[in-house]
Structure 1
């Protein structure tokens, strides 16, 4: 018979229920598996991670290199971020969105993910509901649950262009609804809400006293005639119950630099800063200096990347829609294609009959060594996400392999 301490230990879970319930990031898991296979010499083409294949522009790297020689950057700095970066975000937000804010409305975070986590941890009490338009970015529901909130999925499929309606949102609203998560341009679908729909959704939230958390990380990546107006600009009265999330990762090819931010009412920002002061303290100062250079520079490097993304967007949609049983709406933003593959499921391919998009993604990786993320990571099964932020030749090769494989479906 063990000691009392041993019995007590054995009767307790080793991992807390709160943390044990968190699912691994599916997009990062797929990317890690693809990179692992590549390291083994396998000819894997990875469409998993939402990461531009371009290097960070030289002028940003040079600013960071210079910052490493300044001893001020070798020390702790304010948990909420460097004053110079907050001022740069104020100016950038005015320039790009027409949204007037002050430095006190800004918190600098360790990437966009910490901005998401901080926001929900600050706004939610246990049991508060968050309406989550679906398909959603895989991190949103996990951050909501970590904060004690309840994600309420509202699904819009390919037939709706992945855009939820006010009527759908109203049907999901209850007395426990506190927040609406809004993301346009969207990860994972690339859908972009037209300005009139942004306004209608914002006014619905305002009417019912619902907070809006709007993720604008892909604001500059729009195509054709699409625009992505900031909701608190379209509905100015919403500013006191709105948090804007953003960062340098996608626009400036700076995913590894880990700089994001929250913009919100001063009481929310102060509370979130208090949280961050205990969680991580300040974002790395060299990264913050690099972000200042990015935001104070022009958008020419971004425009060059957009030309490549637009070319790849058109190519991937054309190639995917050429596959029988696959339907891919044309994305108007970000760098993702999100085809429905429901017409392929249930068919036999090389002796296997995938019934879900997860099973289909596994078959594609096993048989033709192409990595993509199944719809289960973003909501219902029946879809695959492809990031076209990779080289043109890799894109053609990868989708070409999938065309050949799914062409065998019977």
Structure 2
């Protein structure tokens, strides 16, 4: 495929050398796709077929994919949805319904219609794979990834260790809220040095549990759009929306930053990374989505479909060259949930959100009643965690003492180069009745 439209956009400039080079060849999936529509005898793909009679010793001549009945009985879904390969970019029903799902959330939360600007979501093996795609397609070794100084540790593994990017930090908080000016300063420097910037933001945040207000979302987007227009260089903003919807404070946004970034500056390239792991509490399903926001100035309306096809070709080229495709059975389940039972799904998930809201209120109330010695709690109002900054001892030593002396387990986070020394507390996995014991244990160890 030629990429004549894509080469005219800021997205092309933002791509890494691999991103510019990669494409999906007309290989097995191409020919098998044609075969399904055009052939009478299909000898293309390595998927075994036979008749129902062949499988079960009957006279049924229905042609079907060969499968093991005992395996199919465990799944309780149509055998072909369990056994067949998924298309490279995901089953069409899920791609379309996930696009609708994004549009629904953005309209309901931000009152912004993003649907005209969305690419067709690529289905990934969880949000982690979407992050890995972004690293490969946008970053060359030595490029900058911009992060707040408190972040999910796997970002370093994905972007720094594997992708060989150089992480540029800014302090997460300033004056008790998100540090917008610090973020803009680092993005500006990256644009000046590298000619492009990649910023990764995760709300609700892991590890802090912080969620911006709608006004803060608008401020972040306004500053980035202004900077993009001023510098005329691409700014890729990765929205890691793994915990979207888990907000426990009425003043915090219940939706993603993503809609505020769409259709702003032509140089602002928003990428939404989300999935079923947390949104549908299907941690092991490993169903994620990678969706780009396309600026209308990039190409004419007549050329938009061609541009989308070019983008899709590159993304599918990466998937084909790494995992080929994602779990079909999990994709089918998620698609059916969103197509047939979205309202019931949201209703049932609301019970879990309400449960976590109670825990959030209890732990923050207890922590606020009496200041922790040599420690402070970061602003938090959503997600699954909160972060306690500790002084006077290494966070790993505090975590070790908690485990040995109190049989309480937390995650230590240490980054001395940026002054981070904290313990992450996952109250999402602790009974509400046990939270007082958890807080007392932390207080005991910090006091000693």
Q: Would you say same fold, with TM above 0.5? A: yes
Cα shift at 1:113: 0.6
User: What is the alpha-carbon distance in structure 2 between the residues aligned to residue 116 and residue 171 of structure 1?
Assistant: 21
Counterpart check, 1:312 vs 2:359: yes
The one-character-per-residue Cα deviations of 1:310-339 (angstroms, maximum 9, x if unpaired) are: 111111123334333332244122121112
Counterpart check, 1:303 vs 2:350: yes
Q: CA 1:171 to 1:228, structure 2 compared with 1: closer, same or farther past 3 Å?
A: same
User: What is the alpha-carbon distance in structure 1 between the residues aligned to residue 277 and residue 358 of structure 2?
Assistant: 21
User: Which of 96, 114, 121 is equivalent to 2:105?
Assistant: 96
Map 1:5-404 → 2, pairs under 5 A:
65-67=75-77, 69-98=78-107, 99-100=114-115, 104-145=119-160, 146-157=162-173, 160-161=175-176, 163-171=178-186, 173-174=189-190, 175-176=193-194, 177-193=196-212, 194-204=216-226, 206-207=228-229, 208=231, 209-225=234-250, 226-235=252-261, 236-238=263-265, 241-264=269-292, 266=308, 267-296=310-339, 297-298=342-343, 299-321=346-368, 322=370, 323-342=372-391, 345=392, 355-376=393-414, 380-390=419-429, 391-404=431-444
Structure ID, larger Rg: 2
User: What is the alpha-carbon distance in structure 1 between the residues aligned to residue 433 and residue 331 of structure 2?
Assistant: 34
User: What is the alpha-carbon distance in structure 1 between the residues aligned to residue 405 and residue 126 of structure 2?
Assistant: 35
Aligned CA RMSD, in angstroms, stands at: 2.6
Q: Which runs of 5+ in 2 are unaligned?
A: 1-73, 108-113, 295-307
User: What is the alpha-carbon distance in structure 1 between the residues aligned to residue 120 and residue 314 of structure 2?
Assistant: 11
Q: CA 1:168 to 1:87, structure 2 compared with 1: closer, same or farther past 3 Å?
A: closer
* Alignment check: 8 A CA contact 2:208 2:379 kept: no
Aligned residues: 333
Q: Which moved more, 1:244-253 or 1:225-234?
A: 225-234
Cα shift at 1:94: 1.1
SS across alignment from 1:249: helix
Q: CA 1:170 to 1:308, structure 2 compared with 1: closer, same or farther past 3 Å?
A: same
SS across alignment from 2:134: helix
Cα shift at 1:81: 0.6
Q: Which runs of 5+ in 1 are unaligned?
A: 1-63, 346-354
Q: Which has the higher contact order (CA 8 A, sep 6+)?
A: 1
Q: CA 1:252 to 1:396, structure 2 compared with 1: closer, same or farther past 3 Å?
A: farther
SS across alignment from 1:331: coil
Cα shift at 1:87: 1.0
Q: CA 1:329 to 1:102, structure 2 compared with 1: closer, same or farther past 3 Å?
A: closer
Q: Which moved more, 1:306-315 or 1:144-153?
A: 144-153
Provide TM-score, normalisation by structure 2: 0.68
User: What is the alpha-carbon distance in structure 2 between the residues aligned to residue 361 and residue 181 of structure 1?
Assistant: 28
The one-character-per-residue Cα deviations of 1:170-219 (angstroms, maximum 9, x if unpaired) are: 24523214211122221111112223323234324533431111112222
Cα shift at 1:231: 3.9
